[in-house]
Structures are given as C-alpha cells and as structure tokens.
Amino acid sequence: MDLPNSCQSLANMQPPQQLWIVGYQKSAKTNQLIGMGLAPGTAIEILQMVAGNLVVRIGETRIGLNQDIAEQILVSDQPLTAPENVMRDPANMEQIAPLTLKDFQLHQTGKVKGFADTDTPDLRAYKKKLLAMGLTPGTEFTVTHIAPLGDPVEIKVRGFRLSLRQAEAALLIVQEVQE
C-alpha cells in the first residue's frame, strides 16, 4: 500500500488537528503502538502539545504520547484507504469505509466478512490470531460488553466470549445481521 505524499511524523503536527495514522518509522515498536490503539487507518485528533509531548484522542479515549513515540508515528491529513479495502455504494458510487467491529454497539449482532488489508508483519500476525480464535468469514457474533473507554470490546462467538482490543477490532470487517 502506498503512503500518502502528505505523510509526516506526528511529532511535527500542532493541535487542534484531525489526522489519520498511516504507518510507523522503521525503529518503531509496532506491537506496542497497535496495542495502544494507534493502528494504521485510525483517526486521531491532537488535543494538546506541551514541551513536545502530545495528548491525542482516539474515539472517546485520550492518550498521552511523549516526543519519542510521536516521532515514530507517521500521519496524514487524509484517511488511509486501499482500493481493495474500500466498498462502493451502488446507489451513488461514492466510496464508503468498510464497517469494522469497533463500529458496533452493545448487543448488536454481526457477521465476519473479512479482514482489513494488512501490509505490515505485525498486522498480519493479528489477522492470524483472529482466524485462530474462530473469527472466520461468515461467522456470526454478538457484542456482549464494551469497556467504559471503548477498549476492549467483548463478543460472543461460537459459544464463548472473546475480548478484543480496539486495534484488533479495527482489522475485522463485518456486516450487521438483522435479528
């Protein structure tokens, strides 16, 4: 996947600003960043900068980042979309983002359609873990619990309960199932 031309380090950005994570510097601790919810494709808002340290918002969660971590995160002012990761609305042929598990509400039922395009080894590893946990295409699930800050989300799938971090939920492309 090609990175946008406007890609810059998060440390170079000023608040207030809406940005999208597009990747990481080569020296980044990718697993740690993904675990914090800072996965590629995630929308973030810079709320405050003090002495090079940032406070950002991801959904309803606020995270403090020191300058070293902010320098490792590459961002763009445009959403990161890959052609194979974008669905088209046949009514008006506008591009719409795919629905992911992190978009679901409590008690909502859905079906796994597939996985977001994963161009890094760490994200491919998450995809393998999700498959190993039974989240294969066509599998139905129900959202049973959402933590107060939105991370993690618990689903009931194949008769057991499974908690997924927000970064993992963002990789799971789903569709709503009407009961």
Q: What are 116-170's pLDDT values in tens digits?
A: 766 667 767 777 777 777 778 888 889 898 888 777 889 898 888 988 887 777 7
Q: Lowest-pLDDT range, 80-84, 92-96, 101-105, 175-179?
A: 92-96
CA distance 130 to 171: 9
CA distance 39 to 20: 9
Q: What are 11-42's pLDDT values in tens digits?
A: 888 888 888 888 787 766 776 777 677 777 78
Helix (H) or strand (E) holding 112: strand 109-115
CA distance 15 to 10: 11
Residues 6+ away with beta carbon under 8 Å from 7? 22, 23, 74, 75, 76
| Domains along the sequence of the chain with CATH | 8-76 (2.30.30.90), 101-176 (2.30.30.90)
pTM above 0.85, yes or no: no
CA distance 25 to 151: 25
Amino acid at 26: K
